[in-house]
């Protein structure tokens, strides 16, 4: 049995072969110590947007380390953090005016929940309920697990998780029901915030829904005085076809969380953006109304410089055009499975394509993901199905040939898996 000194995430060490050691990253590829080139078709867990080691980002990091390491971010500030905040406010949905830094998607969401609770607490209003959508994922801390879908992956921590209200996923036929449910919960007057992944629920199985639902939910939240938190940790930075998914519903959330693509995926950083109302509710000569949150590495200057470089790339390179091209490529490639009975729910949201492998039984479901993963790896591809959901979320630099190869592999792997059951 592999008793690895390094304990890897989401890894059952008793069932996995030793980890492949990567020596070099390059564009859409990971290159291992033996020189094998592995196509990173899931952007290294969704963080790499433009491609691995984009030169503008690497150069910015090189420059930042000449003058900075970590700087305490209370009492002090620095240019990369200030420039980044201005840049984020400029590109985010209009009306978001303040930027709070942390270091991961989970902490960005924790910060958002605390901002929402603090907003009402500081105004002496009793609102303590968080509403979420079924099948959502917001991170792996106790707070974000509480908000996310419950299952085998958080069963052990169940006793510590707080209760939230859950809305049914708005599948095409029951979208109105989701809105009605939300309005019902809001009537209690206790809802502090709706916390939601806009347009696509990522880890919950790449489930996508209509922009109309999003604007409908926002309208209800506004009408009942509840806050609207958009968890754009996965959807941000172009994944769904626009820089932020909220743009497609033409809404401005009260709070927006971003992380994964914020630095182009080069280094960890997160930001929680909010409106003036939320900032102002914490602005007081009464110290008890301070926003009590910090992490040691808040606004790391090297990470901020990397994110500033990412913004420069968005400004100076045709990123949205690349995204449109990738969208078109995904659409073309998906077509080949349109009448294929091995697959169901073929779907796309911007650059993200997903399809469900039709599996014979539920019990079979548990093994099908790891099995497909191994078969993809044998073909030089990093693809990690979520159960029977196969998805591709490549970096925007992926070529038509590479993407075609990924679809050929999906075709082949599906047949192998279904035949050897």
On the CB side of 219, how many CA atoms lie within 13 Å of its CA?
10
CB atoms under 10 Å from CB of 67, counted, come to 12
Q: Does 300 bind ligand PLP (CB under 6 A)?
A: no
Beta bridge pairs of residue 386: 389
Nearer to ligand PLP, 121 or 239 (CB): 239
CB burial of 224-243 (b: ≥16 within 10 Å; e: otherwise) equals bebbbbbbbbbbbbbbbbbb
Structural contact between residues 381 and 321, judged by C-beta atoms closer than 8 angstroms: no
Smallest separation, CB 345 to ligand PLP (Å): 20
CA angle 265, 270, 274 (to 5 degrees): 135
Q: Which of 198, 202, 238, 265 binds ligand PLP (CB under 6 A)?
A: 202
Q: Quote the CA–CA distance of 77 and 69 in Å, as a whole number.
A: 13
Smallest separation, CB 202 to ligand PLP (Å): 4
N residues, the chain? 421
Q: What is the DSSP annotation of 227-254?
A: EEEEE-TTTTTTTTSSSSGGGGGT---S
Strand order in the sheet with 270-274: 98-102, 270-274, 255-258, 227-231, 191-196, 129-133, 165-167
Tell me the number of residues near ligand PLP by CB under 6 A.
Answer: 14
Smallest separation, CB 419 to ligand PLP (Å): 33
Residue identified by tokens 């806050």 is 227
Q: Does 388 bind ligand PLP (CB under 6 A)?
A: no
Q: Quote the CA–CA distance of 326 and 88 in Å, as a whole number.
A: 24
Q: Which of 138, 218, 239, 322 binds ligand PLP (CB under 6 A)?
A: 138
Site string for ligand PLP, 234-273 (x = CB under 6 A): x------------------------x--------------
Q: Which stretch binds ligand PLP (CB under 6 A): 15-23, 58-66, 132-140, 403-411?
A: 132-140
Contacts 24+ apart (CB under 8 A), 6-15: 15/370
Q: Which stretch binds ligand PLP (CB under 6 A): 75-83, 88-96, 103-111, 208-216?
A: 103-111
Q: Which of 80, 93, 118, 139 binds ligand PLP (CB under 6 A)?
A: 139
Structural contact between residues 111 and 274, judged by C-beta atoms closer than 8 angstroms: no
Q: Which stretch binds ligand PLP (CB under 6 A): 84-92, 226-234, 339-347, 376-384?
A: 226-234
The kind and range of the H/E element at 338 are none
Smallest separation, CB 316 to ligand PLP (Å): 27
Q: Which of 233, 319, 368, 382 binds ligand PLP (CB under 6 A)?
A: 233
Q: SS3 for 402?
A: helix
The kind and range of the H/E element at 90 are helix 79-91
Nearer to ligand PLP, 197 or 402 (CB): 197
Q: Which stretch binds ligand PLP (CB under 6 A): 81-89, 134-142, 271-279, 301-309?
A: 134-142
Q: Does 106 bind ligand PLP (CB under 6 A)?
A: yes
Q: Does 372 bind ligand PLP (CB under 6 A)?
A: no
Nearer to ligand PLP, 231 or 402 (CB): 231
Q: Does 149 bind ligand PLP (CB under 6 A)?
A: no
Tell me which residue has its CB nearest to ligand PLP.
105
Q: Does 25 bind ligand PLP (CB under 6 A)?
A: no
Nearer to ligand PLP, 218 or 260 (CB): 260
Q: Quote the CA–CA distance of 389 and 368 in Å, as a whole number.
A: 10
For residue 291, the 8-state DSSP code is: -
Minimal CA–CA distance to 139: which of 81, 89, 203? 203
Q: Which stretch binds ligand PLP (CB under 6 A): 81-89, 99-107, 221-229, 338-346?
A: 99-107
Smallest separation, CB 100 to ligand PLP (Å): 15
Minimal CA–CA distance to 144: which of 115, 101, 116, 113? 113
Q: Quote the CA–CA distance of 358 and 238 in Å, as a whole number.
A: 29
Q: Quote the CA–CA distance of 407 and 331 in Å, as a whole number.
A: 11
Q: Which of 40, 110, 149, 231 binds ligand PLP (CB under 6 A)?
A: 231
Site string for ligand PLP, 169-198 (x = CB under 6 A): ----------------------------x-
Q: Does 137 bind ligand PLP (CB under 6 A)?
A: yes
Q: Does 348 bind ligand PLP (CB under 6 A)?
A: no
Nearer to ligand PLP, 140 or 165 (CB): 140
Q: Give the binding site for ligand PLP (CB under 6 A).
A: 104-106, 109, 137-139, 197, 202-203, 231, 233-234, 259
């Amino acid at each position: 049995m592999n008793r690895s000194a390094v304990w890897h995430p989401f890894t059952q060490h008793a069932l996995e072969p030793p980890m492949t050691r990567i020596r070099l990253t390059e564009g859409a590829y990971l290159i291992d110590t033996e020189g094998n080139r592995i196509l990173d078709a899931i952007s290294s867990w969704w963080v790499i947007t433009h491609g691995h080691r984009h030169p503008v980002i690497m150069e910015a990091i090189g420059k930042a380390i000449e003058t900075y390491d970590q700087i305490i971010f209370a009492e002090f500030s620095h240019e990369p953090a200030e420039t980044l905040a201005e840049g984020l406010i400029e590109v985010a949905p209009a009306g978001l005016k303040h930027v709070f830094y942390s270091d991961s998607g989970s902490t960005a969401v924790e910060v958002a929940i605390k901002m929402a609770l603090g907003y009402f607490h500081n105004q002496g209003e009793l609102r303590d309920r968080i509403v979420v959508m079924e099948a959502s994922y917001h991170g792996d801390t106790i707070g974000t697990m509480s908000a996310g879908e419950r299952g085998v992956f958080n069963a052990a921590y169940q006793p510590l998780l707080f209760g939230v209200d859950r809305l049914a996923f708005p599948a095409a036929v029951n979208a109105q029901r989701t809105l009605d449910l939300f309005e019902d919960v809001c009537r209690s007057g206790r809802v502090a915030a709706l916390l939601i992944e806009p347009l696509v629920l990522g880890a919950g199985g790449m489930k996508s829904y209509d922009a109309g639902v999003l604007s409908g939910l926002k309208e209800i939240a506004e009408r009942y005085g509840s806050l609207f938190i958009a968890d754009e940790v996965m959807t941000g930075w172009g994944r769904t076809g626009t820089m932020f998914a909220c743009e497609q519903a033409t809404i401005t959330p009260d709070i927006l969380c971003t992380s994964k693509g914020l630095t182009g995926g080069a280094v960890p950083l997160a930001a929680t953006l909010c409106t003036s109302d939320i900032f102002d509710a914490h602005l007081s000569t009464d110290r008890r109304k301070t926003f009590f949150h910090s992490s040691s590495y808040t606004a790391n200057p090297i990470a901020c410089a990397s994110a500033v470089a990412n913004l420069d790339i968005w400004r100076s390179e045709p990123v949205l055009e690349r995204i449109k091209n990738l969208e078109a490529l995904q659409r073309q490639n998906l077509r080949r499975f349109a009448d294929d009975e091995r697959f169901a729910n073929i779907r796309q949201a911007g650059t993200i394509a997903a399809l469900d492998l039709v599996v014979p039984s539920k019990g079979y479901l548990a093994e099908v993901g790891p099995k497909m993963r191994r078969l993809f790896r044998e073909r030089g591809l990093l693809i990690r199905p979520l159960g029977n959901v196969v998805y591709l979320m490549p970096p925007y630099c992926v070529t038509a040939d590479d993407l075609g190869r990924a679809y050929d592999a999906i075709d082949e792997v599906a047949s192998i898996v279904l035949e050897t059951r």
